[in-house]
Amino acid sequence: MIDPESTWISTFASLPPTLDSSWIPNFATWCFNRVQNNELSGLLTASPPLLFEKSVFESELASLTPTLSAVTGITNFATAWENTIVASQVLLVVPGDSVGSPSPATTWSVVSSALVNSGSISAGKAKIMELVSDKGALDVLNAKMPVKLREAFLELKGDVSGLNSVTPTPQPLVASSVPLI
């Protein structure tokens, strides 16, 4: 499962403060490490199903321009996260992976589509946008950024379709809105 909120907060607080662009790879790596190798919710056996595109996130963060508007800054950041998830949206689900408890009826013999659900990407972005109402914390341990990012990733769901492993006649097997993390 995903790291507890306290781990997100403490590891975020340990990021080195910088006044230059060196924060970008540090932040992208921190985010990658929070989500990449976590076990799933137990509903999909693919591991890891979501390949968070760290290099895309770094590029997206590097394209952000400084602004005095918190709304603009948070919107741009949320869009950078959204664009990264869209770039990462092809899930790694292969024949032999299953939904729920593995058995012939829930194991894919053929996977025709495995994508992050677009509605869940929007829901995740909305979680990040909630930072607009945060007036900011002087103490990094009280910052809402790691909490909202964790919540955004927890919103992500996958849609997988294909054929099950029932023999002699496989049937369609569809799993919609399956939690990814």
Question: Distance between CA atoms of 181 and 179, rounded to whole angstroms?
Answer: 6
Instruction: Give domain limits for the chain.
Output: 5-179
Measured distance between the N- and C-terminal CA atoms of the chain, rounded to whole angstroms: 6
pLDDT tens digits for range 13-49: 999 988 888 999 999 999 998 987 665 454 566 555 6
pLDDT of residue 91: 77
Among 3, 72, 87, smallest CA distance to 37 is for 3
Q: Specify the pTM.
A: 0.87
Neighbours of 76 (CB within 10 A): 16
pLDDT tens digits for range 106-129: 777 888 888 889 999 999 999 999
> Tokens in use for 37?
């190798």
Question: Distance between CA atoms of 20 and 54, rounded to whole angstroms?
Answer: 19
- Find the mean pLDDT for residues 155-180: 83
